[in-house]
Every structure is written in C-alpha cells, then in structure tokens.
Structure 1
C-alpha cells in the first residue's frame, strides 16, 4: 500500500489541463475567464479552470450539430463505434492512477475509493456500452405479405449532459457510454467545482479515435452556462444528475424552449429497513456503509434507518460500532474510509441539519461535530441521531452528509408507510431472513432500486433511476440506450 506522502507527491507533479474542449481541441473560454478549483482536503487551489459562458455554449452546440449532421459518428457502423469506445475505456484504464488522483483531489473522495471503485466503474460502463451497441437490433413488424414495417433506432442528435460533483467520473461515464454508443454528439458540463476528470477524459476520447466535435466539454457555472445549454433551441436532449430543485428548473427550460427530451436523476432520502429477524451484524455494517460512504454525499445514501422496535437498542449500538471505521481522514491517505466534504458551504449545511435534528427532539448517539484532519479542510464525524420522527426535518430533507436519522417501527405495514412517506423514491434497503416478507416489501416500497439483504447492490446490467421527485428516465443497462435514441417507423407498400 502506498502512503499519503506518495499521493501528495504525485498530486504535486500532476500536469493539469484546465481548458474547455471544443471541436477536438483544448481552448480557453471566449471571455478568457477562469475559476479556481480547490482541494476539499485542505482548501488549497489545484488549478485555474476555464469558466465558460453562453458564447461558449453557442459555439459548442454549433460544433456538435455540424458534427452530428455530417454523419462522421452518427452514421458510423455500430461495430466501428464499438471499437472507438472500447479503446476509450482501455485508455482510461491505462491512466488509472492519474485519473483516480484527479478525482480524489477535486472531490475530496478517498483515493482508495477512486482507485478501486470510481475509475474501474467508469471503464466498465464505457466498455460495456461500446460492446452492447452492435448487439442491439432494430425490428420488423408482423405485417401482411404486401407490406413491410421497420422500426429503426436513430440517434437523437445533440445531447447535453450535466453531471454532479459527488460522483463526477462515474456519472459522466453513465451519460457518455450510452449517448455516444447511440451515435449522438455530446456536450458535457461538469460541476463547476469538480471539472478535472471530465476535461482529462476529453483528450483520451480523441486519442481513442472519437471524431472531433463528437464530445465537447464545457466547465463553467450552472447559472449562466447551464441555462444557456438547457434553453438552446438546437439541443435535442438534456440529461442531468443533481438536486431536485435544479431538475425542476431544467424541466421548465425544456418547456420554454424546444421541448427537448429531459431526463433527471435527482435527490433521495432512502429508507434502510431492518427487521428483527435479519442478520444484524451484516446489516449494521451495511447501514454504516450506506450513509458514510463518500462522506454521505450520495443520492442513494441510506439516510433514514428504519429499525424494528424490539431490536432498536441492540442494533443502534452495532451501527455505532461500525461507524467508527469511517473516522474522517485525508482523502489521499490510502487508509481513509471517509474523506472531506466538498466545500465549506456543504459543511455548514450538515451542521445546520444536525442542530435542527436535535432541536426537534432527536438524541445524538455519536458524532455531531467537525473533525480537524487538515487545516483548511472540510471534515465531519459520522453522526447518528435516534428518536427521530419521520415528519422531522432530518427525515424529510436531503442532507448530503454523514448524518443518519434512526426511526423505529412496529411491523411491515408501519415500515412501508414510513418508507413511502417521502417526496423521494430513489432507493431502499430491506433486511430480513423471511423470504415472503422480502418479496412483499420489495414490491410495496416505492423506489427505483430496492436492495434486499445488501446495500448499493447492482451493476451496469440493471437500470438506475427514481420514482416521484427523485426523477425520471434511467441510467445504466440497455434501457439507457432508449433514452438517447429515437424510434422511427417506416412502412413500405410492396404491392
């Protein structure tokens, strides 16, 4: 295992590209404006990044449209697109350590996670979509002998992908894999505070053979740049992962412009439900992982722990013991399990919610304060608050931090009622050794992903997305290809 000093030295030696990527080349923002990206671990500036605006959005859309209409990518044989995407995945894999380090210093994520989870996941996503595209067939309708009905899948055109700061690389791969495989031209707007891996990937895509103009990367603020892209009349599709509030605004922009296809993966307040007959040791370790992984900055975080009353004291004690493993540490230390929150504003948000939870009657089991890991960094201890009512603020609003709200229940019916009493419906965990109960609960809990006797289960082969205000559409699996495709029906009279 390498050391903190090793990774800090590697970080100091990085040659960081901070420009936008348009039409196959790295370029400055037209205004010349830049914005600092800062390491959440210590508050130190990493690099100055191009701060693109509406004029850059206009150029990128023109380039993407021209490239799409040229057919250089959209009309390329699927087997040839596959080769390029597989090479793209290979190049990401070959640059594993560099990309993992960029993700760690930019987002505050533990280097052990970016090395072993984030980058391998991105590689697998892009490779899988590349391999899949020449295996997805069009259809022939069952017609009369003198007629022929064809159903063909066509690329949408120009896709804008806006990705979040909590999983910049993984989410980017979820968008790029199927949208590029389907033949679209893509404009990628990374979160303004985590642009590094997106910018780096653009160069690797070109090296892999992706034609110029097919992938364009615009770092910049969501307010001016994001709205310019979302309102543009020549953008065919907008895919977004982020907050529910922003998702609603982007949906309005679609209606105000050209009704561009818009699909969203938004917030969550996921219930993790533990029955008395579960394997409590396994469930407790998973409950800690469910909320403290990625500093709790996870849309699917199991932030509501629903525990059957008869085992509440015993189980909460087990979760508290498991939480100790997630003591905050420097993100570039390979031993760290929980790194730094993204910035000071997010740290203040977490502090506000903890105070609110205690004010509304919650009991602090552990944590509840900042952690002094490194000067200038934003660290918060793994926190558990029990005696929470589902109507309490910390049970209803997404905190996006390492704060677990514990709610007790009696029986399946009450567990379902509490679990579904939320504006969100992204994910849920169910822990029981009762086979029938597992199936009943999995059907009744309204969530896009339900994990039984595990948490964060699944891979690229199953779709991911939410119910209710957790969004619409789906990332991952062959279903994602549908979101980036149009179906055309062609009817031929053969008589």
Structure 2
C-alpha cells in the first residue's frame, strides 16, 4: 500500500504517535493506502509552523504581485500534475476519473488563477467625514486560518480555499476528511514546486473526533472554513466558541429541482439526472434531491427520467466510460441503503432503481466489494416524509407533483435547508417571479449545478452562515476589515 505523510512546516512527517489509518478504495471496498492517524499534538505543531512561517516570511506584507505570482505558479503545477492527482482522488473517493481529470482539476487551476488576480485588486475605501479628518478602510490578513475539507470533493475545495487564504496574506492549517485524505497530502508537493515559504500551508490527517476537534478549538487559529454536513457544522460552531472564532460554514441541503409543464422536457430530464445522479452518485451538497414536477406532465416526466437513469453506466470510476461511481465510504453506503428501506417503510412508491452492489455487480468481479447504488427515484405526495426532508447524500431522489407557481414555491421552501434550487421553464417572467421567492443561496434556471469561481456561492437557513466562497469578494472572507480615523486639522 502507498503511504502518505502529514505536511507540517514544509516537511513530510508521520503522526507523532506513529499510528496509521487505512484509506479504502470505495470501488472495491479494499484498503489501498495509509495515512497518519494524527492527534492534537500534530495540530499544535502545524499551528506553530504556520505562525512561524508568517513571522519569518513576512507573507502578510509581501506585495500583492508576489503573492499572485506564487499562486499562478501553483496553478501551473496543478496543470502539470493533473493526471496523478486525479487518479488518487478517484481511488480515494470514487468520483469518476473523467470528472476529476477533465473537469475538477482543470477547473481548480483556473480558479487559483482567478484568485491570483483578486490578490492584485484588493482595495479599501476613503470616507469623507469632515475636512479636518482623513478616514479610510483597509482589508488585512487574519493570520493563521484553518480549512476542514469534505470527502465528496477534496481537491477542488482544498485548492480554492487554500489559494484564497494565501492570496489574502494568511497561513493555513488543513484537516482533510479521514475518508479521503490521500489526494490532499499528495497535492502538498505542488506548494514546494511553486516555491511557497515552508509552513504557510500545513496538512494534518486523522479522525474528526481528534484532529477536527483540535483544529476547531485551537486558540491560535483565527478563522475556520468548513464544508460538510449541517450536523458536523453545529459541532464545529460549539467548539469554536472557546475563542469566538470566525466561521465560514458551507453545509448540507435538500434542494428542489422544479419542472414546469412548459419546460423543454428533454433538457430538464438530463439536468435533473445530472443534478442528483451523475457524476458523483448524489454525493453533493447541492444535489437536486427533491424533484418537483407539475402535475400535467408528472407521469411523462417520471417515465422519461427512468429511461435516462437506465442509460447511466454505473461501475468502476477509473474507467472513462463510467457515468456514475460508488458511494465514497462504507458508512455512507450503509446510510443510503437505510434510506432505501425507510422510503419503502414510509409508503413512498419506488418509481425506479433501488438496487445495490449485490444486485448490480457480478460474483467474482473485483468490484463486488464496492459501494454501489443505482439511480433511484421515490414518488410521493408527502413532503413531510423523512426521505423528503433529510439529506440522503446518495443517488436517491424524491418526486413530488405540484399545481401552479404558489404550490411549487411552497413545496420548494418547505425544508430546513436553503442551499440550492433549480427550475425549468420557457416562461422568462415565471422564471423571475419564482426565483425571487425561493429561499436558497444558489438558484439555477434551465440548468443545474452550474458553478463558476467568479459567482458567489453560499447557503441560507441551515445550509450555511451566509458567507460566500467565490466571487469578487472571496478574499474578504479570509480578511479582517479595519477602519482608520486620522485627525489632520
């Protein structure tokens, strides 16, 4: 098995305890690598390394042009090593290789270049108070920051958040998800290649209950960005109260994808399927897991969606022909299967799907031990069911009929989450009316899951704390605003 090491102070190290954790390939269910099982001591080492790096390198005070140059060198390194990184990412979390290699890594490089440009365009403002005073604002680095990464898309989150924090003049400590760490530890080599000062970026692997808690409560960390479940987000908020940490939380969702009768149904079928089934088997915070369909086209749309779902190739994520890979972990696989059973018990109709590895993979196949669930749709009129309200985080959607704009909006908003929503209609007036009424941080019209680093991204309600991860003000999330009043009279 391959071994990957922590990255602390520019050095690769095992955990202080010498303990290891297995990294499991979800396509086969077998361990393929080992990562350090770190502890609070390792986190403390990383925080101290970050503090020292800020002091010795003067990173907070180097020119914006210098920070931007290092980030552009990082983007070039991502391009150079895309093949290796994408393969590790796919081995580690099961996202199809055609997605990691041809979409996620190239997109990450472009986003890093965008953030480099933002670093060169940070501006404060002057405020006209009175003639004998000069007042202005400035954006300044926080210091040591931290990033806790999810297992469903480690590398894109890692590169975007680390690059933003570095562009703002900070150092950073990263805690990857225990279930998908190897690609992040491998990616630390790119910071050496891009000639970043040692210690500005530190990565400590291990269990959330040990390393994650230590990061959340460490007094030397000024801000934490967390992407993951709402439940874990609540826990981090509680831990962070020790020293009133600034938090950027990007949490779960139960997003509606609304199909009106006047929509281009072919486009809507493809968009709904991509929103919940492909490429990552529904393991996305923005997954369109509630499909709201206008009653007059309900039966037709479900039939079309079933035919489309059956055409999706479920299998080995390393095969470039695979459209949907496995669930990323055994624990999540068990969770998804429990919701399949729950849906039946709650009385929802199984419109299509519902099979798992035992029914999908032949005996003797190396994939027989993998965590596979086929695209699945339940049909119900009850938005109060648990499968209608709770985030399943798998390729399982619930279809609900509606009549008219008002009922569509009522159903769409009837959830504690508010991360994303989609709607399909050829009526531009309806599109504007409905979009204004949807309580979600991200709304797509006649598309779904379309994202760009220049467009802000954040959640409402229990899907986040309103911070925006992308867009022209992305660096502000990693900075403190200072106001200065100077008497000159």
Q: TM-score range by the shorter chain?
A: over 0.9
Is residue 470 of structure 2 the alignment partner of residue 484 of structure 1?
Answer: no
Which residue is equivalent to 2:18?
32
**1: distance between equivalents of 2:176 and 2:324?**
23
* Deviation digits for residues 325-352 of structure 1 (CA, Å, limit 9, x no counterpart): 3231101011001001112221111111
Aligned counterpart in structure 2 of residue 447 of structure 1, from 440, 443, 449: 440
Deviation at residue 375 of structure 1 after TM alignment: 2.1
**2: distance between equivalents of 1:80 and 1:333?**
40
Checking the alignment, whether the CA contact within 8 Å between 2:23 and 2:180 is kept in structure 1 is yes
TM-score, length basis structure 1: 0.95
Aligned counterpart in structure 2 of residue 286 of structure 1, from 249, 271, 285: 271
Is residue 431 of structure 2 the alignment partner of residue 438 of structure 1?
Answer: yes
Deviation at residue 209 of structure 1 after TM alignment: 1.2
Is residue 460 of structure 2 the alignment partner of residue 463 of structure 1?
Answer: no
Alignment RMSD (CA, Å): 1.2
* Deviation digits for residues 100-151 of structure 1 (CA, Å, limit 9, x no counterpart): 1011000111110111111112111212101221112222222433321121
Checking the alignment, whether the CA contact within 8 Å between 2:173 and 2:202 is kept in structure 1 is yes
Checking the alignment, whether the CA contact within 8 Å between 1:388 and 1:395 is kept in structure 2 is no
Aligned counterpart in structure 2 of residue 362 of structure 1, from 331, 343, 348: 348
Is residue 167 of structure 2 the alignment partner of residue 181 of structure 1?
Answer: yes
Checking the alignment, whether the CA contact within 8 Å between 2:118 and 2:475 is kept in structure 1 is no
Is residue 416 of structure 2 the alignment partner of residue 423 of structure 1?
Answer: yes
Checking the alignment, whether the CA contact within 8 Å between 1:17 and 1:200 is kept in structure 2 is no
Give 1:239-250 correspondences, 5 Å limit: 239-250=225-236
Is residue 198 of structure 2 the alignment partner of residue 198 of structure 1?
Answer: no
Of 365-374 and 407-416, deviating more is 365-374
**2: distance between equivalents of 1:338 and 1:171?**
21
Give 1:339-378 correspondences, 5 Å limit: 339-371=325-357, 372-373=360-361, 374-378=367-371
Checking the alignment, whether the CA contact within 8 Å between 2:93 and 2:329 is kept in structure 1 is no
SS of equivalent to 2:18: coil
User: 5+ residue gaps in structure 2?
Assistant: 362-366
Checking the alignment, whether the CA contact within 8 Å between 2:457 and 2:469 is kept in structure 1 is yes
**1: distance between equivalents of 2:251 and 2:347?**
29
Pairs aligned (count):
480
SS of equivalent to 1:441: helix
**1: distance between equivalents of 2:331 and 2:231?**
17
Which residue is equivalent to 2:364?
none
**2: distance between equivalents of 1:70 and 1:325?**
57
SS of equivalent to 1:47: strand
**2: distance between equivalents of 1:452 and 1:98?**
36
TM-score, length basis structure 2: 0.96
Is residue 260 of structure 2 the alignment partner of residue 275 of structure 1?
Answer: yes
* Deviation digits for residues 28-64 of structure 1 (CA, Å, limit 9, x no counterpart): 1111111111111112222111111100011111111
User: 5+ residue gaps in structure 1?
Assistant: 1-11
Which residue is equivalent to 1:263?
248
SS of equivalent to 1:365: strand
Which residue is equivalent to 2:126?
140
Which residue is equivalent to 1:493?
487
Is residue 89 of structure 2 the alignment partner of residue 103 of structure 1?
Answer: yes
Aligned counterpart in structure 1 of residue 375 of structure 2, from 371, 382, 396: 382
Checking the alignment, whether the CA contact within 8 Å between 2:137 and 2:481 is kept in structure 1 is yes
Which residue is equivalent to 1:79?
65
